[in-house]
Amino acid sequence: MLDALFFRLLEAAERIRREERGDSLVNWVVLAVGLAAAAAALVALLGARAAAAGGPDAGVVRARAILAAAGDTGKSLRATAREASDEVTVNVEGESPRLFSLPLLLPAVRASASLPLERYPAAEAAP
C-alpha cells in the first residue's frame, strides 16, 4: 500500500514538473512584454521632455533616436507627437519584441507621456 501511494506521489510530482516548464515560458513572455511597455513609457517621457522644450518635432527625433539605439528591440516601435494648446504629447506604440521564433500573439505596446510646453508668457516674451 505504501508503494502505491509513493508511486502516485511520484506521478503527481512528474506531472507538476512538466507543467512548470510551460509556465516558465509564459513567465518570460509576460516579463518581456512588461519590460517593453516600461521601456516604451520611458521613451515617451524622454521624447515629451524634448518636445516640451523644442516642439513636437524635437520630441519625435529624440524618441526615434532612443528607439534606434535599442537596435532590433526598438525597430517595431514608432513615435509620434502632437501639440494641443499648452501641452505636448508623445506616443510610442508598436509590436512587442519577440524573444523566440515562435508565432505567439503578443499584445501591442502603447505608451504616451504629456508635459506642458515650456514657453514664456506673452508679456515676458518681448524685451
pTM of this prediction? Answer: 0.71
Residue 72: what pLDDT?
Answer: 77
Q: Which DSSP string corresponds to 49-116?
A: HHHHHH-HHHHHHHHHHHHHHTGGGTTTEEEEEEEETTEEEEEEEEPPPPSSSS---PPPEEEEEEEE
Please give the average pLDDT of every successive group of 10 residues along the chain, which has 127 residues: 67 68 68 83 93 92 91 85 91 80 74 85 61
Residue 59: what pLDDT?
Answer: 93
Residue 95: what pLDDT?
Answer: 84
